[in-house]
Structure 1
Amino acid sequence: MAEAPRDAAATRRRILDAATEEFSAAGFGGGRVGRIAERAQANQRMIYAYFGSKDGLFEAVLTEKVLQAQAAVTFDALDLPGYACQVFDFYRANPRMVRLNLWQALERPDLLGSLEPVARAMADKVAGIAEAQASGAVSAALPAEVLLDLILALTYGNIAQAGDAGAWPDSRRAALAVAVERLIVGGG
């Protein structure tokens, strides 16, 4: 009896899904390639063949998740409170991403900035905020990159503080919108 042909794309997908589970639960340092392979029903050698290393796999997972977030969230420099609320909503709907991002921040703090899709998206957002500042629509009291960092810190801090996704009430979302609005109005 002939063996069924292997589906490389399906195997790669199973590995990424299993790695997302493992890294969001245990972080990069606690994540185990053996558990990922077992969960993915794949040979450990396939993980190294597709991703090169545990580092490469972690970067692939993070890149994929960041691209999903970017696709789901629309950035509008003229509606920064709306942007912050969209980010909040995305993470509320994807709590595994919260844990993954927290682990990344703790264990690999420089990784996100080194990923091309993240660096490009951040540069685009900063440029959009700078344009909104130049037009007077957004306060120029803070440099555009600092303003974006503060908006994201408020958003992620609000998410991390809320803990379990079920504990993210709409009142926290509304408070986030007010806080961002206060950052971008007046003074400059």
Structure 2
Amino acid sequence: MHRLLLFLSLIPLLVALVLRKLNADRVLRLARETRLQITGEKLARKMLDSTGHQDVEINTTKRRWAGAAVIGEDWISLPTDHANGKSAYDHGQAALRVGLFLISLRGQSAISRRRWALRFGHVFPIFTTIVCIFGLVVAKLPALWVLSVVMGALGLAACAQILTVSTNMQAAALAAVVLEKKRTLPRLSEEEA
């Protein structure tokens, strides 16, 4: 039984790894090398101003927990490195936050599900690992069961975080529409980056 659990938990982990390798790594490497003229915070401000949300405050944070709220009713939180960065990656993260903010204005349910999945994906495997280690120390759980349960928790967390991709894709598409329609960036080459 523990072998079946172990094999079934490896499937979402492998899917997440393959999706990351095929889609993200190549694009992220190129995006970190491409430099633009303005900072990520200025881009976010221009996007918000062009959509009529001048009253939205942009907060910069030094540290952030992945499950922490990144948007509110009248604020957006950007990490300091993305707010001050001039790479296409930093601009993409700032535009994604603006897209998430615009989606939250339509309905809060997608953003709430995303926040829950991110928090669950970070907390559940740690909690499960701690419980399993205690079970192993008091000799109530065999080592293979501990490994299987921990891998199952990681697989479940990977599934939860894969489900956030749809919200991120909607936010990215909305941000791209705002960038294209409102002509936020002055140069076409920067808009394409």
Q: Give the TM-score normalised by structure 1.
A: 0.25
Q: Give the TM-score normalised by structure 2.
A: 0.25
Q: Which has the higher strand share?
A: 2
